[in-house]
Amino acid sequence: MLGRAANGVYWMSRYLERAENTARLIDVGFHLALTRGNKHSQDEEWKSVLTTTGLVGNYCRVHGGFNGPQVFNFLLRDKDNPGSVLAMVENARTNARMVRNSLTNAVWETTNEGWMHLRDLLARPVRETNLGEVLGQIRRTGTLVRGALEGTMLRNEVFNFSRIGTFIERADSTARILDVKYYVLLPSAAWVGSSLDNVQWDTLLRSVAGNRAYSWLNAGAMDSRGIARFLILDGQFPRSLVFCYDKLRSNMAGLAKEYGGETSAHALLRATGGALQETSIEAIFEMGLHEFLQDFIGKTSRLGSAIAADYRFNE
Partner 1 sequence: MTATGGTNYDEMLNEDGSVRPAYADFRKWYDSQDKAWLKRQDAEAERFFRRIGITFNVYGNDAAEERLIPFDMIPRIITAREWRKLTQGIEQRVRALNAFLQDLYHRQEIIRSGRLPISALRNNEAFLSQMIGMTPPGGVYTHIVGIDLVRTGPEEFMVLEDNARTPSGVSYMLENRETMMAMFPELFTRIPVRPVSDYPRRLARSLRACAPPAYDGGKGGGTRPTVAVLTPGIYNSAYFEHAFLADQMGAELVEGRDLRVVDGRVAMRTTTGYKAIDVIYRRVDDDYLDPLSFQPDSALGVSGIMDVYRAGGITIANAPGTGIADDKAIYSYMPEIVEFYTGEKPILANVPTWRCSESDSLAYVLDNLAELVVKEVHGSGGYGMLIGPAASKKELADFEAKLRARPDNYIAQPTLSLSTVPIFTKEGLAPRHVDLRPFVLVSPEGIDITPGGLTRVALKKGSLVVNSSQGGGTKDSWVLDE
DSSP string, 191-221: TTT-HHHHHHHHHHHHHTT-HHHHHHHTTT-
Residues that bind partner 1 (CB under 8 A): 1-4, 6, 94, 97-98, 100-101, 105, 108-109, 112-113, 116, 157, 259, 311-312, 315
CB of residue 36 to partner 1, shortest distance in Å: 41
CB of residue 12 to partner 1, shortest distance in Å: 13
CB of residue 315 to partner 1, shortest distance in Å: 6
CB of residue 106 to partner 1, shortest distance in Å: 11
CB of residue 10 to partner 1, shortest distance in Å: 11
| Cα dist from 271 to 12, 125, 174, 287, whole Å | 27, 46, 20, 18
Closer residue to partner 1, CB minimum distance, 3 or 125: 3
Closer residue to partner 1, CB minimum distance, 31 or 97: 97
Closer residue to partner 1, CB minimum distance, 54 or 82: 82
Distance of CA 249 to the CA centre of its chain: 18
Nearest to 47 by CA among 24, 70, 31: 70
SS3 239: coil
Closer residue to partner 1, CB minimum distance, 104 or 215: 104
Closer residue to partner 1, CB minimum distance, 68 or 304: 304
CB of residue 148 to partner 1, shortest distance in Å: 13
Cα separation, 239 vs 212, in Å, equals 13
DSSP string, 96-158: HHHTGGGS-HHHHHHHHHHHHHHHHHTSS---HHHHHHHHHHHHHHHHHHHHHHHHHS-SSHH
SS3 290: helix
DSSP string, 243-272: HHHHHHHHHHHHHHHHHTS--HHHHHHHHH
| Cα dist from 126 to 71, 76, 77, 135, whole Å | 11, 8, 9, 10
Nearest to 257 by CA among 159, 177, 169: 159
CB 111 within 8 A of CB 31: no
CB of residue 152 to partner 1, shortest distance in Å: 15
CB of residue 238 to partner 1, shortest distance in Å: 27
Closer residue to partner 1, CB minimum distance, 34 or 309: 309
313 secondary structure, DSSP code:
S
CB of residue 292 to partner 1, shortest distance in Å: 33
